[in-house]
Amino acid sequence: MKIPRYSFFFLSTLALFSVVALFLAFASFQNKITYQKCEELGLPILEINIEGGKKVKEKNNYLKASFNIAGVSGNCKIRGHGNSTWKALKKPYLLKLNAPESLLGMKSAEKWILMANYFDKTSLRNAYSSYIAKNIFSNQRWSPDNRFITLFINGRYEGLYQIYEKIEQHENRLDLKPDSFLMVVNTRMNKEFNFVTKGFVHISNQDNGITEAKFSDYKNYVQKAEDVLYSDNFKDSAEGWQHYMDIDSFIDWFLINEYGKNHDALFMASCYFFYDSEKDKLCMGPAWDFDIAFGADPHDDCNLPEGWYVNQFFWYKRLFEDKVFVNALKSRWEEKADDLRASIEWIKQEAEMLQEARMLDDAIWKTIGNRIWPHTPGWRQRKTYVSEVKYMTDWCQQRFDWLDAAIKQL
């Protein structure tokens, strides 16, 4: 039977063969990238070999594996990680070592996040936010450390990754007293225990293993703090919000997220806070998840360097009604503004170090110059890594200038 050349069947078949051909070419090229080639990049190489050569296909179940990085090796487990990021082509992972290890100079622990940064065409936004949290707005009890690495799974090159310390209560992570607790703002409500405050903040437990009764105690404390925040005498220095909320951590967390105009900081997801029994207060942090911040997300005008964002919603909107909070924020900004302005140079220096590794990664995943969610405006014109980095640094400079003027006018 002769198939008409431009029939639907002909075109569909041609498209199918094209997709298959591209996939085979992709897989073939990916397999040709060797350890030796990647050693030239100067980044540590993490090798993970999964039993039976299996692929990680889900987030709920671990696969047994072994690992090796910079002379440290052992057995481990691996599973998928993330929410929207898990749906991307390049996957993030959670690595659980069979025994605690110190990796690349970071403190010893079992759990580590392998961050793919697929949505961030610079691969620098998470690293930059961590740099700010550790070196500038550092009034948070702990901020996770990280390193850039090259990842191989089952002998196949997976690309440029970051290995991150996992946010958890741990003596080498967020080291809290036993009667403290860690929670996360989480509109997905997909953790073991979840609740919605009267102010419509969706909160989940972050640490596993707590009882329902204990979670109820935590929930009651958070709700009490929120009730006081929205009460008529919330400005009272002894009985108001300051009795329940740590002003220093709330300010620094705000400034990091407001500067980055981080869409998730709208109390949607990845907003961590904890009760510190030593201070007997709620503390914000650690700051987390900035891969679509710093101009990368067009939703709700987060790509525009002008305009307030985080202080328009939820707890922060109320805090901005108290001059005590506003004046303390202005003072903190004045103290750290020069350091923040100078930090934009850090992006340029890190990009120069990372450029070759990022270009090799893009030879596989092909994000630069292509339409990748969240579809940052101007992506068609930015066809090189250098142009993406310039977009980010230009945006940060404009954002700093706007925010500097806006805070001074508060």
User: In this predicted model, what pLDDT tens digit does every residue of 57-107 receive, in sequence order?
Assistant: 999 999 999 999 999 999 999 999 998 899 999 999 999 999 999 999 999
Mean pLDDT in the chain?
Answer: 92
Q: CA distances (Å), 67 to each of 49, 101, 292, in order?
A: 6, 11, 30
CA-nearest of 23, 38, 36 to 159 is 38
Q: Which residue has the tokens 């230009």?
A: 394
Omega of the bond leading into 286 within 30 degrees of 0 (cis): yes
Name the helix (H) or strand (E) containing 184: strand 181-185
pLDDT at 233: 96
Asked if the model's pLDDT at residue 324 lies above 90, the reply is yes
Name the helix (H) or strand (E) containing 153: strand 146-153
Backbone angles phi and psi of 383, in degrees to 5: -105, 5
pLDDT at 12: 56
Q: pLDDT tens for residues 157-194?
A: 999 999 999 999 999 999 999 889 999 998 888 888 99
Query: What tokens does 173 get?
Result: 């992570």
Q: What is the mean pLDDT of residues 111-134?
A: 98
Question: Do residues 359 and 350 touch, judged by C-beta distance below 8 A?
Answer: no
3-state secondary structure 4-70: CCCCHHHHHHHHHHHHHHHHHHHHHHHHHCCHHHHHCCCCCEEEEEEHHHCCCCCCCCCEEEEEEEC
